[in-house]
Structure 1
Amino acid sequence: MNARTAALRAGLDRGWIEFKQTWTNRDDVIGQFVFVALFLGTLFFMRNATLPGTGFSLGAATVPGVLGAGIVFNGLNSTAGYLAIDREDGTLLRAKATPNGMLGYLVGKTTAVAMAQVTGILLVLVPCLFLFDSLAPDGVWSYVHLLWVLALGLVATLPLGAALGSLTNSPRSIALITLPIMGLGAISGIFYPITALPSWVQGIAQAFPMYWLGLGMRSALLPDSAVVVEIGQSWRPLPTLAVLVAWSVIGLALAPVLLRRMARREAGSSVAERREKAMQRVG
């Protein structure tokens, strides 16, 4: 077994361990279930509202959009946040000191985040399938469609999150990533049809993966009758595939370069300096 293969296996093992640890941490578990409960409660009260011009439930139409937005938010924000924290506490420096350590670290972190995302989606989707009988109308094919959108969404966002995290100086800088993502959520047709927004806003939203992930999720989980509120009254599968692949390529190209650049700058003195600043803020 060569060094890279060993690093990949170590990264997968690390990702599995980190994922399991999130379910032994009380705060993480409470936070996860509080979010799910709040979201399901909101959908419950939306169940009798309908999409404009249709008799289709607005609550059911919101489910796939929120799942798509969650992939983007967690893929970018969570990955970047973990990277910033591990940079500040010296974890990245220790990874750098081992052969192919940065490769193993990146594989482990993306594995842990991806598994957490899949779990979060299941915690939301399974109850919604009982709450809204109109979801997943094509049975098995709906879930197959959902899986390829989910897989491509993870590839399109996790490397980007790592790239953005490598540009941050500290965990407090993550707000610079969080706020734009929240802004994208407001214009990407997550909670209301994007066609209700001005055309120039629609154009901005379509340049980023959040809109396309929401659209892909809706095309997988909603019946064809719900397509009337989409742009061009079409699910646009080929543009969805093209945009998500393009963002995947961008992320996979940028992440290794930026992470290597960040790793070269890591040293014991820089970690000690960041810790000293953190202690001063606490004091």
Structure 2
Amino acid sequence: MNAVALGLDRTVLELKMYSREKESVFFSFLFPILMLTLFSVIFGDVMDSSGSPMNAATFFLPGMISAGILLTSFQTMAMSVAVERDDGTLKRLRSTPIPPVSYFLGKVGLVATTALAQQVLLLAVARFAFDVDLPDTASRWLTFLWVFGLGVFAGTVLGTAFSSLASARSAGAVVVAPMLILQFISGVYFAFTDIPTWVQQIASVFPLKWIAQGMRSVFFPDELASMEMAGTWEHGRTAMFLGVWAVAGLVLCVLTFRWFKRGTT
């Protein structure tokens, strides 16, 4: 219980530090909200995958939600842990009485709080600024919750593991570049059916495509499921892929996490 209490205290501290890093707040928390606003204002109405007109905010909302999940989890963890390892923060924490689990609970608390706040703000902007119809059935909201939960968990553990590949100086390029590529090939900014088939197959290996597909099943009408690669929403396969990535990320965390910068002890 003491470790949990310290973890809650660490969460508050993490949130304070996060709020002071303006670049992180913009590129991980506010970026999807800004992009949804820009696309909605610029495009007005667009054609969905079946060729029918659709409110632009409705069309882009699932993609922005999906990108936001990985930005607040994977990108935040990969960059913050890499910086803290290089500047000696992790080394100092390791030499204090604070249990290691409290540090990780603080990071999980940071991701959970920012991801949830971002989703609430995204949905509020979509509903009240652009008149997007939100789901009106419990089953759709349940789908939203489990896709969101699995996506955040997978992004958090994968980001922690990925931090071992980055340094404070290279974190921006090493972390942001793959995230940007995945957003373009996973149906975040374009209709997934407009992406070449071989690129779709590459995107299907990674979690962002499945998060985006899961979110489309929440906000798009059921008839648009026929435009997906398999012609259905594939909820079972979505859960399987996200679950596999979550477990793989957790294993990689255990195997690769380092408290000290390379070359130091």
TM-score calculated relative to the size of structure 2: 0.87
Tell me if 1:44 matches 2:74: no
State the partner residue of 2:95. Answer: 97
Counterparts of 1:182-221 in structure 2 under 5 Å?
Answer: 182-221=180-219
Alignment match, 1:15? 11
Counterpart CA distance in 2 for 1:153 and 1:33 is: 18
Equivalent position amino acid for 1:199 in 2: T
- Letter of the structure 2 residue corresponding to residue 127 of structure 1: V
In the TM superposition, what is the alpha-carbon distance from 1:177 to its structure 2 partner? 2.1
Going from structure 1 to structure 2, the CA distance change for 1:233 and 1:121 (only over 3 Å counts) comes to same
2:236 corresponds to: 238
Unaligned runs of 5+ in 1: 272-283
1:157-208 superposed Cα distances (whole Å, 9 cap, x missing partner):
1011001112323243341121112111111111222122221111100000
Report which of the two has the higher share of helix: 1
Q: Secondary structure at the match of 1:98?
A: coil
Which region of structure 1 is more displaced relative to structure 2, 30-39 or 103-112?
30-39
Query: Partners in 1 of 2:75 and 2:171 — Cα distance?
Result: 11
Q: Which of 77, 98, 123 does residue 121 from structure 2 map onto?
A: 123
1:148 aligns with 2:146: yes
* C-alpha contact 2:77 2:160 (8 A) present in aligned 1: yes
- CA distance in 2: counterparts of 1:33 and 1:194, whole angstroms: 24
User: Residues 35, 54 of structure 1: CA spacing in aligned structure 2 closer, same or farther, 3 A cutoff?
Assistant: closer
Shift of 1:99: 4.7
Q: In 1, distance between residues paired with 2:17 and 2:57?
A: 33
Deviations along 1:120-150, one digit per CA (max 9) or x if unpaired, are 1211111202345553333443322211111
Distance 2:80 2:21 in 1: 18
Hey, what's the Cα distance between the residues in 2 that align with 1:33 and 1:248? 25
Identity %: 29
Q: Distance in 1 between matches of 2:134 and 2:54?
A: 14
Residue 120 of structure 1 aligns to which amino acid in structure 2? Q
In our comparison, the structure showing a higher alpha carbon Rg is 1
1:71 maps to which of 69, 75, 89: 69
1:179 is the counterpart of 2:177: yes
Aligned residues: 262
Q: How far apart, in 2, do the equivalents of 1:30 and 1:112 lie?
A: 12
- Cα distance change, pair 92–183 in 1 and its aligned pair in 2 (3 A): same
Is the partner of 1:234 in helix, strand or coil? coil
Matched letter for residue 197 of structure 2: S
More divergent stretch after superposition (224-233 vs 154-163): 224-233
Residue of structure 2 in register with 1:256 after alignment: 254
Query: Deviation above 4 Å: which 4+ runs of structure 1?
Result: 20-23, 32-35, 131-134
Give the Cα–Cα distance (whole angstroms) in 1 for the partners of residues 31 and 151 of structure 2.
25
Gap change, CA 1:207 and 1:33, over 3 Å in 2? closer
Mapped contact 1:136–1:222 kept (Cα < 8 A): no
Instruction: Tell me the equivalent position of 1:275.
Output: none
Determine the structure 2 residue equivalent to 1:6.
2
RMSD, aligned α-carbons: 2.6
d(CA) in 2 for partners of 1:172 and 1:151? 29
SS of equivalent to 1:56: strand
After superposition, the Cα gap between the structure-2 partners of 1:41 and 1:174, relative to the gap in structure 1 and judged at 3 Å, is: closer
CA contact (8 A) 2:63 2:212 kept: yes
Structure 2, unmatched stretches of 5+, are: none
The 3 A distance-change label for structure 1 pair 38 and 215 is closer
Which AA in structure 1 matches 2:39? T
Q: Show CA shifts across 1:28-50 (max 9, x none).
A: 79835576345313223333122
